[in-house]
Structure 1
Amino acid sequence: MNKIFHDGKYYSELEIKEIVKRYYQSAFSRKIDRHVQMQTLFPDTLDNKSKILDYGCGMGGVSQLFYDRYGCNVDGVDISENELIKAKIAFGDNAKLNFLLLSQFGFPKNTYDLVFSSQVIEHVHNPGNYLSNINNMLKNDGYLLIGLPNIVNINYLINLILFSNKRAIKTSKKILNSYNKASDHINGWDPFHFINLCSSCGFELVKYIPTEETPISFFLQRIPFIGKYIYRLPFTTRLSYTMFFLFKKSKNIKININD
């Protein structure tokens, strides 16, 4: 039986199936998890006739979620063959749920009702081209549901305060010698500038939510009586680890190589 690499170790197919399903069962059961919070942004227009692209599907759990909820056609695409192997083991391929390697994906135009992409754009060298490709793949009035880290959080601010020339040089050498596209972030946005980026690529914002709040907001909401009000203040809720945006395709946009 083939062994599959996961989190630094090799496992059997049966073990991988259990690991992947257990991971998503845990994620989907926690109210503060981004996998749960982002579901509030699913468009009401989705049904069993919809076609959805999970762009950067990883181990396939969200692809399966869309398939289970709507019974629609879902394509899960990823750069990692190893992640796709795990997705196929855990959730399988069928006529409506397909997992494909990005290098073999055709980027079909005017095809999808929704493109979902979470924790991907921060790894992309050409964000404008990435968003332009999504724009072209969406049908007119199709939706983009996208999630990414929020740089306006406590960890980022602390790292910024502690940043020095010595640490900068060390970071540069590390990335130069051991850059890993799947794990290293090369882009970062606050909500305001990310909206600017997406709108310049033809998308109109429908709704934005901060997700996976920071420890400071996590504890504030537990203060008796007043906690829930303090927690809702922009200063606390906007210091989230991650954020999700629902955009609607408004214009056909093509970003040129030199834009």
Structure 2
Amino acid sequence: MANIHPTAIVDPQAELDASVAIGPYTIVGPHVKIGAGTTVGPHVVLEGHTTIGRHNRIFQFGSIGAANQDKKYRDEPTELVIGERNTIREFVTLHVGTVQDKAITRIGDDNWIMAYTHIAHDCTVGSHTTLANNATLAGHVELGDWVTIGGLTGIHQFVKVGAHAMVGFASAVSQDIPPYMLVDGNPLAVRGVNVVGLRRREFGDARIAAIRQMHKLLYREGRTLEAAREAIAALAQSAPEAAQDVALMGSFLAAATRGIAR
């Protein structure tokens, strides 16, 4: 049997692995599934059609899988899906999706989600991200892998943040942020390339040089977005070691829907 504190209330229909630990006064609803090795602290509410993977750590006072804050929501059986090895700190709120979109809010693996973070309906968060205290994601936001969001930052609905990008403290994000960029402010501005993050992930000098060149083509030469995209695509020939980075940037720019941050 799972290690369930006697004061916790766990619906008998909930599916908990035998190695799950549930803290005092926590509530687990009937449609919740929790994988092996996950620990849930005291005073957490787990509800909705929520699936939580293996080896997550959920701290006290979280609200996980609650009905979303979309006024169109009518208690449809939409989902929240959380991957593996995530750390979810105090007072985090994660909501289920809506039928108007994917009907799933999805969190990947190995994310570090700090206190008071809010992830709204239909968001997709990749893996290895860091969301500092009070980061707020509106509905339908997409974060790529290895994204870092600074504390007290708000992200507008439908915004996409590309992989390896970093958003600084107390920023207001209303446009898409291309991969690898370093941005901050209100109004938001692109400051350069997230070089420190890339070096921590063992990007070599040649790849970083190519990414710097993509930044230059996008932001320093007065090109139109289409002209910049064409020039970036050509880098795959001159810098083959960065071909995957060029492809990532190209696909992101092609899919941007809110215009890119300048």
TM-score by length of 2: 0.24
* Greater relative contact order (CA < 8 Å, ≥ 6 in sequence): 1
TM-score by length of 1: 0.25
